[in-house]
Structure 1
Amino acid sequence: MNTTIANKLKRLRKQHGYSQEQVADHLHITQSTYGRMENGETNSWVSYIESICKLYNIEPKDLLQPDNVVINNIKDTKGAIFNNGTINFLSEKLVELYENRLKEKDALIDELKNRIKQDTNL
């Protein structure tokens, strides 16, 4: 089946913080039916394209584009708008990695300062 659409459905759902059950309820189908759409086991998403687009506030062309990116405007918790959900996700991961590196740097600086203090007290 169409894995491109299936992957986009899964990515959109996760970007918006929905469970499969919540999306299925919105579409008035069972979770297992929706799960098969996300797994690419069925093309029944075509019957629900209008509801899917309305749920995610996108145009059908955004869902059907053959690229790897779903065009969508998403607001983060600080109100910034990202034109691309994938960029939003990657940005969050990069910020998380960067913040962890900064914590490691601060811990190393503190450790080195303590060593210098100990060496000067000898």
Structure 2
Amino acid sequence: MKEKVGQRIKTLRERRGHSQEEVADSIHVSRATYERMENGKSNSWASHLEQLSSFFEVSPEYFVQDEEKSVQNNENPSGGMQLQNNGTIKTLNTLSEIIIEQYELRLQEKDKIISLLEEKLKE
């Protein structure tokens, strides 16, 4: 999923003639963080989906839907914001799963740090 989303972000950026720095500034992340999103190395795009959608003027669903549906949903007169309920629900479910995965990874990292700190305190 993150590779597909990253490719869509990159394609939009290149088609619209923006630099990575411009997009990164607009969504308030470092260029390196943005580059990881674009290269499919990070799921952090999920936290910035609204800002990316706003910057590129596409629906949030564009990034996670099948190619055909993304094109259809973003070629309507209202600028791509008109969506089918079913697609929106699937998108929300997908995003929820990604956010939960990120949360679980952060909890694991926190536990490791706590263990290391407790060991240092015992020394």
TM-score, structure 1 normalization: 0.55
Partner residue in 2 for 1:65: 65
Partner residue in 2 for 1:114: none
Partner residue in 2 for 1:36: 36
1:66 deviation in Å?
Answer: 2.5
Cα 1:68/1:36, change in 2 over 3 Å: farther
CA RMSD of aligned residues (A): 2.1
C-alpha contact (below 8 Å) 1:49/1:60 kept by paired residues: yes
Partner residue in 2 for 1:51: 51
1:15 deviation in Å?
Answer: 1.0
Q: Secondary structure, in 3 states, of the residue corresponding to 1:65?
A: coil
Work out the percentage of aligned pairs sharing the same amino acid: 36
- CA–CA separation in structure 2 for the residues paired with 1:4 and 1:57: 19
1:59 deviation in Å?
Answer: 0.8
- How many residues are aligned here? 74
C-alpha contact (below 8 Å) 1:8/1:70 kept by paired residues: no
Partner residue in 1 for 2:24: 24
Q: Secondary structure, in 3 states, of the residue corresponding to 1:32?
A: helix
C-alpha contact (below 8 Å) 1:4/1:66 kept by paired residues: no
TM-score, structure 2 normalization: 0.54
Q: Counterpart of 1:14 in structure 2: which amino acid? A: E
- Give 1 or 2 for the bigger CA radius of gyration: 1
C-alpha contact (below 8 Å) 2:24/2:34 kept by paired residues: yes
1:68 deviation in Å?
Answer: 6.8
Q: Counterpart of 2:47 in structure 1: which amino acid? A: S
Give the gaps of 5 or more residues in structure 2: 81-123
Q: Secondary structure, in 3 states, of the residue corresponding to 1:18?
A: coil
C-alpha contact (below 8 Å) 2:2/2:37 kept by paired residues: no
1:30-82 deviation per Cα after TM superposition (whole angstroms, max 9, x unaligned): 10000000010000000000000001111111111122785345xxxxxxxxx
Partner residue in 1 for 2:9: 9
